[in-house]
Every structure is written in C-alpha cells, then in structure tokens.
Amino acid sequence: MSIRRLGAHLGVRPMSLYQSITSKEELLMHMADHVFGEVILPAKGPAEWRAKLEFIARAEWELCRRHLWLPKTVSFMRPLFAPNMMAHTEWVLRALDGLGLSMEIRVREALTIHSIAVAAAGSLAEEDCTGNTTGTSLHSWNPTPPVREWKTVNRTRFPLLSAVPQGTAEDLEGLFEYALARHLDGLAAMLADRSNTPRAEMPGSQAATGRVRRPPGQDR
C-alpha cells in the first residue's frame, strides 16, 4: 500500500493526504485499526480454548483476504499500536486463561496465531501484486516451454515433487487450515503432557471435541 495508490483510490492528490497525517506509518496504523475493528469480538466466545483460537485465526485470515495490503502492514518487530489490533491480541491472551501457561508462552501463542493467517495471506497478496504487474492471473498463467521441459527432465531426480497433485501449492485456504489444525494439535499435546492427561482426552484435542477440520471441499 503506497500513498500514491491510496490517493488514486480516494481520488485525491497523494501529497494532500499529509495534511491529515504526519507519516505513512501513521496512515497505515489508522487503516489497520479500522480494518481490525470490522471483527466483532465476543465477550466470551466459544467455551473451549481451541474453538476460541480457531475463531480468531479465521477472522484474521478473512480480514487479510479482504484487505491484501494488511499482511505487509502487520509487523511483530515494529508493532502498530492500533487499539483494535491490540484488542485481538488481548482476546487471545484471555482465551488462554486457566491453562497454566506463562504470560511469555501466551504472548508467543498469540503471535503464532496471527502469523499463521498473515503468512498464508501474504502469499495471496504477492500473487495479487504479481497479477497486477504482469496482467496475468495465476489461473491463466502457464509455464513457458523451458519450465515444462525442466519438470519433465528432472522427474527422475524429483519423483515425489513431480507426483504432487496440481493446485496443491496454490490452495492457500487449505494451507491455512492445515497449519492452524497442526499448530493447535501441538498446543493440545503440550497441555496434555503438562497435566499428565491422555492426549485423546485432553479438552481441545480433535479426538475429545469430535471435530476433525478438513480443508474446504473435503467436508463431505
């Protein structure tokens, strides 16, 4: 997201935006704050911690999909002190109450949940940028003959890669859901180990909840 692009979108001269803001960073902070405010965070939310984390992760994934400039705006090294964004982090910290986790681990968990959504959406944003630059969308893009030849020649060297079903790598929705599920499985296992509870019986495990999350299109 650039000042020039935003000015063009609003129909104003780019430099005129600086009459209301002091820097691009301030503008991005206000934009991010407004966007994160689109999500209505329930006071309590689902009863179980896993469902809470699934809710917030999917909400942020949808935000990043709708606003493709957002993934590059979210920074863990230079965080934006946007109240609505901070409310998301606070909500995750509260969702982990009562699990016996230190504040350090809870903060890392909140950042991990954010990063799963941001990382998947970042690839979507990059593709959108590439499509705008080249004028060719991913769906209409075809490898050039040399690329196809490279794949054919190297099948003996990369037999497993050549067997990957077409479209697997591009399925960012499926990648997001897979990463989220595997991360939450790991958290459930860690909690079970700490409490000496069999993992299949630990609240938040997929076996305990009876829910096995599948990528879209595989629910039936």
Q: pLDDT category, 220, cuts 50, 70, 90?
A: very low
Quickly list DSSP for 75-142.
-SSS----HHHHHHHHHHHHHTTTS---HHHHHHHHHHHHHHHHHHHHHHHHHHHHHHHHS--TTT--
Output the CA–CA distances (angstroms, integers) from residue 93 to 15, 64, 98, in the order listed: 40, 21, 10
SS3 readout for 29-51: HHHHHHHHCCCCCCCCCCCCHHH
Name which of 1-5, 30-34, 135-139, 165-169 the model is least confident about: 135-139
For residue 172, give the amino acid letter.
L
State pTM to two decimals. Answer: 0.71
pLDDT at 28: 76
Write out pLDDT tens, residues 17-43: 666 666 677 777 888 888 899 999 998
Torsional sign, CA 157, 163, 165, 166: positive
Residue 216 has a pLDDT of 45
Domain ranges for the chain, please list them.
Answer: 25-209
94-100, Cβ contacts within 8 angstroms, sequence gap of 24 or more: 95/45, 95/49, 95/52, 95/53, 95/56, 96/49, 99/49, 99/191, 100/191, 100/194, 100/195
CATH of the structural domain 25-209, one choice from 3.40.50.2300, 3.40.630.30, 3.40.50.300, 1.10.357.10: 1.10.357.10
